[in-house]
Amino acid sequence: MKQYNCCVVGIGAVGAEMVKLLRRRNFPVNKLVVFATRERTEVIDGVPVEVRVAGPGAFKGMDFAFFAGTEGAKGASKTLGWQAVEEGCVVIDNGDDFRMDARVPLVIPEINAEALRQHQGFIANPNCSTIIALMPLAPLHQAARLRRLVASTYQAVSGTGSAAIKELEVQMRDWAAGRPLKAEVYPHQIACNVIPSVGSFKDDSGESTEEIKMRKETHKILGDAAIRVATTTVRVPVINGHSIAINAEFEQPLTPEQARALLAKAPGVKLVDDPKNAIYPMPIRASENYDVLVGRIRKDQSCDNGLVLWCAGDNIWKGAAQNAIQIAEEMVRMGLK
């Protein structure tokens, strides 16, 4: 089997999981290099990893560059991404800087892998919540055509990064000990609370950037700008794993039984739907799971041809690092690299 020279740019929560998953998924790596803002040695999954600083020519001889920027982080792919392409490397970017760029395919391999054939050396990962929502929605859209989507997200603190995880852990200990809770990463305490604000508010629409991304990315990935999308994004006191409540309206009738049959055979989706026996998707079960879990499937009583469902997925794995590696795996399978 052909082997590939790979690099990971950024070694935070997502970058570390990229390194870990390249090993666990047995991606055919010949050489792996990690780039960050300073040189050091990191231990990832029990293995020491040398970290270098990327400079001119750093990407020459590399086949794949995985840019691991967390959601909303700016800099690395804007500064180095197209340089890497010019030096002969395929860039797979987890950040949001180029997702809506017409040159850049926005790809979930199980849904729109064919978009990879139009790549110009640069491919983008969608937003973590978009990935988790569309994994169960895409098979239903293919069967009955999605007309309207209302999504309410329950997003774990790992989506903000390691500092947010630490803040939640410290706040939980302080709450249990009766000490005052300090909020630094978020504008309010996150322990024992939910914050209906993910991303930032840059205009007067009332929508956050995270909510806007869900709409625009859904249109681009499914290739249908007529789908109406309304989203409320909420940060919850969960360490890892995003959950999403979805109301979906379709052009054609689709019963819950038909939806279950479609989702039971959908790649990358696991049907977890027996609420009478307390079996349904939860972030604690989705964390470190390759699949997106879906359940609580029922008729939407508020509209014709509507379904309600609940899904949960690992926002750092399928929502970020895993999806990026799957893009590379798919490119290899399709003979594009």
Active-site residue list = 128, 242
**Structure token pair of residue 165:** 């995880």
**Structure token pair of residue 241:** 């794993």
The 3-state DSSP class for residue 176 equals helix
CA-to-CA distance for 241 and 315, rounded, in angstroms? 5
The 3-state DSSP class for residue 213 equals helix
37: amino acid identity, one letter: T
CA-to-CA distance for 77 and 97, rounded, in angstroms? 8
The 3-state DSSP class for residue 248 equals strand
Q: Report which of 276, 255, 273, 278 is spatially closest to residue 312, judged by C-alpha positions.
A: 273
- Judged on CB neighbours under 10 Å (0-12, 13-18, 19+), 172 is middle
CA 83 from chain centre, in angstroms, equals 24
